[in-house]
Amino acid sequence: MAAPRKTAASKTSLAAKQAEATHNEKTEDEAPKVATFEFKGETYEVPADPLDIPMDVAYADSEMDVIEIVVGPEQWEKFRDTRPTIRDFGKFSELVLKASGQGEDEGN
């Protein structure tokens, strides 16, 4: 019995699968998008998508720990260098959560 011949359709299907695999690899390798906001004259960057926030937030003991994890150690120090009040932390926290896609919707 003769081996089945590859048809144009099977070649196209293989090429499509390879292209999709390459696209998926590129998507996974791309750096997460970031959102920026300003607080007290300083610019901060956080992941724009809540799914890109470090998993460590699941183990945080307080809201302050969550915010520290989301902004990262260098930006947390920058925030702390402003000698913030509790009120300042509340405002900063709202900005972090909103920028990272976790804040409340404007319409609510």
Provide the token pair at 45: 């960057």
Residue 88 vs residues 36, 39, 80, 84, 105: alpha-carbon distances, Å: 18, 9, 10, 5, 21
pTM value is 0.68
Which range in 5-19, 20-34, 74-88 is most confidently predicted, on average pLDDT? 74-88
pLDDT digits (tens, 9 = 90+) for 5-16: 555 555 556 656
Confidence at residue 102, expressed as pLDDT on a 0 to 100 scale: 87
Asked if 48 and 32 touch (Cβ cutoff 8 Å), the reply is yes
Within a domain: 75 = yes
Within a domain: 58 = yes
Looking at the structure of the chain, the number of domains it has is 1
Within a domain: 14 = no
pLDDT digits (tens, 9 = 90+) for 92-103: 999 999 999 987
Domain with 93 in it: 47-99
Within a domain: 84 = yes
Q: How far apart are CA 77 and CA 107, in angstroms?
A: 33
